[in-house]
Structure 1
Amino acid sequence: MMLLAGLAAAMEPIRFTDAAEEARFRALAAELRCVMCQNQSLADSNAQIAHDLRLQVLGLMREGRTDAQIKEYLVARYSDFVLYNPPVRPATWLLWFGPGLLLVGGAVVVAVVVRRRAAGAPASSPSEDSQEW
């Protein structure tokens, strides 16, 4: 029973000092990814670690850090994965260009298969087509 009360207290809503702080926090939390959920933003996740990170982000904001400094801090701890839009650099090339390369590779494979089948198919004459009826 005490564990349940402890969890409920740990997940209580965040209190903001003003509307500007809330707007900045919400914008920043939407740009950050939950490190546990993987495909949810920090703002959308219900995981305990996401709640902890939201509190940490708010704490860093109240220390006077800029959004860029907060992102740098989180990237240093969790890598570029924590950002929904990671920077383009050699370590993230596969993330940025991988889907396009897969699409181009698939198109090349389809084109090769279609050409091979077209080249290997016997040409039929019009008289042969009419006799099949």
Structure 2
Amino acid sequence: MRSLVLAIAFLLGAPAIADSNMPPAYWANRQLPDAEQEAKAQALMEELRCLVCQGQSIADSDADLAGDMRDLVRRRIAAGEKPDSIRAWLVDRYGDWISYRPTAKPVSWPLWAAPIILLIFGAAAAAGRMRRRRK
């Protein structure tokens, strides 16, 4: 019985241990003093996917990793780096998936062509059905 209680305590206590005790990164929740730089950082952060939440941008996510990425973006923008080079570095590090901006690489061409092909097949099926009804 004692070991069962201990096992349950460990299972229920694990999520509490998973939280970070580290303070958030400096620029994670602060805006840059220069409004133009902050606008560039904000635009870039809206285009980057949170690696933890996966359905949110790093601008919208409350995850610690998203805060660290916001800090990284703001620091690099403040240092004068261009948003495109920051995005390229992040894509290099984490892969194309991190960016909400679609790529035009040949590997993604089927994804671009699929809606057009499905529309053509749908139109052909509808036309065939209409012809059969007329007869």
> TM-score by structure 1 length?
0.66
Quote how far apart the aligned CAs of 1:3 are.
7.3
The residue type paired with residue 32 of structure 1 is: L
User: Are the aligned partners of 1:35 and 1:81 in contact in 2 as well (CA < 8 Å)?
Assistant: no
Aligned match for 1:87, one of 103, 107, 130 = 103
**1:33 correspondence with 2:49:** yes
- 84 and 3 in structure 1: CA distance in 2 versus 1, 3 angstrom threshold: closer
> TM-score by structure 2 length?
0.65
- 104 and 33 in structure 1: CA distance in 2 versus 1, 3 angstrom threshold: farther
Number of residue-to-residue matches in the alignment: 118
The residue type paired with residue 96 of structure 2 is: D
What percentage of residue pairs aligned between the two structures are identical? Answer: 37
Distance in 2 separating the partners of 1:79 and 1:105: 33
Gaps of 5+ in 2: 1-15
- 100 and 17 in structure 1: CA distance in 2 versus 1, 3 angstrom threshold: same
Structure ID, larger Rg? 1
Aligned match for 1:24, one of 40, 58, 71 = 40
Quote how far apart the aligned CAs of 1:94 are.
3.0
Q: Which residue number corresponds to residue 127 of structure 1?
A: none
Q: Which residue number corresponds to residue 103 of structure 1?
A: 119
What is the 5 A alignment of 1:1-133? Answer: 6=21, 9-10=23-24, 13-119=29-135
Distance in 1 separating the partners of 2:83 and 2:21: 31
For 2:21, what is the secondary structure of its paired residue?
helix
- 107 and 29 in structure 1: CA distance in 2 versus 1, 3 angstrom threshold: same
Quote how far apart the aligned CAs of 1:4 are.
6.2
Q: Deviations over 1:67-98 (max 9, x none)?
A: 11101101112222222222322122233332
Q: Which has the higher contact order (CA 8 A, sep 6+)?
A: 2
Quote how far apart the aligned CAs of 1:32 are.
2.1
